Amino acid sequence: MPAKTDSRSKRRNQLLQQIQSDARRAIFGTPAESYRTCGTPTCRCHGPGPKHGPHLYISYRGEAAKTTGYYVPKAAQKSIRDGVEAWKRLQKSLRELTDMNKQNILEQARKQRSANK
C-alpha cells in the first residue's frame, strides 16, 4: 500500500505544479476566426475577392450568463491562444485533483469505519 500512496502523492504534487503553472497563463474563452468586410466601399472585400482576416475572436460567458467576447490584436494572438490551451489543461488537472481528493476522503472514512468496528 505505501507504494500506491507514494505514487498518488507524487502525481498529486505533479498536478499541483501543473495547476500553478497553467493558472498563471490561463485565458477563459473559446477562440474563433472570422473574415470581415471593411468600411471602404470599393475594397475587394465587398466583391467576389477575399475578405479581410483571419481575425481572432475570443467569446466567453460573462456576467448574468451573457455571451460576450473581444477581438485579439495580431501581436497578442499567440499568447492568447496559449492562454486558452492553458485554461483547458487547468480544467483537466483540476478535475483529476478533485477526483483524487474525493478518493482520499472516501478511503479515510472507510478506514475510520473499519477501526471503529
39 DSSP 8-state letter: S
CA distances from 11 to 75, 90, 94 (A): 36, 15, 13
Res 71: pLDDT:
96
Res 110: pLDDT:
92
Q: Which residues of the chain have pLDDT under 70?
A: 1-3
- Structurally, how many domains does the chain consist of? 1
**Structural domain boundaries enclosing 58:** 2-116
Is the pTM value of this prediction over 0.75? Answer: yes
For 16-41, write each residue's pLDDT tens digit: 999 999 999 999 999 999 999 999 99
Classify 72 in phi/psi space as left (phi over 0), alpha (psi -120 to 50) or beta. beta
Res 5: pLDDT:
73
C-alpha angle 79/82/83, rounded to 5°? Answer: 85
